[in-house]
Amino acid sequence: MEAAVVQTAYGKVRGRIERGVAAYLGIPYAAPPFGENRFQPPRPPQSWDGVRDVAEFGPTVPKPPYPPAMAALLPDPDRPGEDCLNLNVWTPDPAASGFPVMVWIHGGAFRNGSGSVDIYNGASFARDGVVYVSINYRLGVEGFAHLPGAPDNRGLLDQIAALEWVRDNIAAFGGDPDNVTIFGESAGGMSVTTLLSLGLAEERGLFRRVIAQSGAGLVHQTREDALKVTGELAARLGVEPTAEGFAALDPETIIPVQAAVAAEVAALPDPGRWGVTTANCGMSNVPVLDGDLLKRVPQDAIADGAGAGAELLIGYTAEEFRLFLMPTGLAKVLTHDLIGAVTTGMGVPAAAVTGYRDRHPDLSAGELLAVLITDHMFRVPANRAAAAHRGRTWMYEFAWRSPVHDLGACHALELGFAFDNLDSRDASGMAGPNPPQHLADAMHGAWVAFAKTGDPGWPEFDAETRAVQVFDGADDRVEHDPRGDDRKLWDA
């Protein structure tokens, strides 16, 4: 069934009715990032005459497939075509007005993902009175490599361009451009926290609220460290380490080499080879401190007051890193001797490693590393961002444990619950059969309430009481400083 025709700044679009709401899919918010637009800031899309059919998802940006062990747990559709800087809108009623808006920025380690992943379907948000938008942005080398001769942080610039499109067009879909919540998970959580640090809420009015899921404000690269990655890629590809050199190759040629380097950085985060900032996050292409868009480490800027005008909901899953160790089999082959090499490379304080060994003597090497990197990459940075943010702040922990693949409460498990999409074909691989719908009702309801009112329904976080809403499906509750003795090891 067709949805009503909507007039955007670039032309008219016609969507479809899906699950009782209107969906408009694959709308371009920027020009295709190829040819003369490659490695450049996003440019406006070309206008069109007549009515554009937007009933199907548009192309995805160039990206590699997930490794086999991850592909079954994290589906990542690949749709060919150059018009890949597009977005999707689900709305309760395009003829209405004043609905709160939520804009989703997907995760995928800054090299995978798209707005068209099935579990990100926005119909449940629209059903509950929210205009929901999901976006694509450039990834990997195309979006985040430091290439002399090209602007840095092209993927972040894409995200900002999409938010500008929302500001200028979302009222035509029934949304309130003055009541926008940006939210994201993993690299998306890191992205929204970075956007918060840029003053985009106060200075440009692009959003009012932020939900950061499993991503905070520490991930970044210096230009020097990013150039180490660029140099390695260029050497393997046989080109100069410049924008001109990489532009001589199509993305399909670059992607396999990009994937190989990314895997090496993740497996052995060696600061001597890749630089300290690259090794600390274990990712090869991430936002760069370019001195232009991103002048400071996001968490430092937030601590100095950036983003104070926006409300922040931030959190993590209780056992994030199990996703990367358990289904891959790495946990079973890890030894305690290897833990030191990995944690030292990632910048984990030696005192924290010693403290965790003492506090958790019964854990296997794989389980201990999962706990350490969960806290290093996710839980401790979330706590620090929450404590640093000068505006209203709430924190959550997702603690329900999956019954499959020994995943526990792992990274990305909360997605089906926050989206109330447990019936998605993408949810069962990670959540298993019959996940608790009442937990989805609670978590999704909190996200909707936050977007509508700025209050998810539990006490605000502060550095003294550290109130954290724990979603575990059995006894959802507020805890004060959960596992605080572990957290304090990092402060020391």
Q: Which residues carry out catalysis? A: 186, 320, 411
User: Dihedral of CA 406/219/229/155: which sign?
Assistant: positive
CB neighbour list of residue 464: distance below 8 Å, 6 or more residues apart: none
Report yes or no: 257 and 237 within 8 Å, Cβ to Cβ: yes
**Are the C-beta atoms of 6 and 12 separated by less than 8 Å?**
yes
CB contact at 8 A, 187 and 110: yes
Residue 367 neighbours by CB under 8 Å, 6+ apart: 331
Distance CA(266)–CA(17), nearest Å, equals 42
Interacting residues of 434 by C-beta distance below 8 A, sequence separation 6+: none
Provide φ and ψ at 13, rounded to 5°: -130, 145
Task: Give the Cβ contact number of residue 152 at 10 Å.
Answer: 23
- Sign, CA dihedral 288-293-297-302, equals negative
- In the block, residue with structure tokens 């520490």: 218
What are the angstrom distances between the C-alpha of 192 and each of 152, 299, 322, 398, 458?
Answer: 17, 12, 24, 19, 22
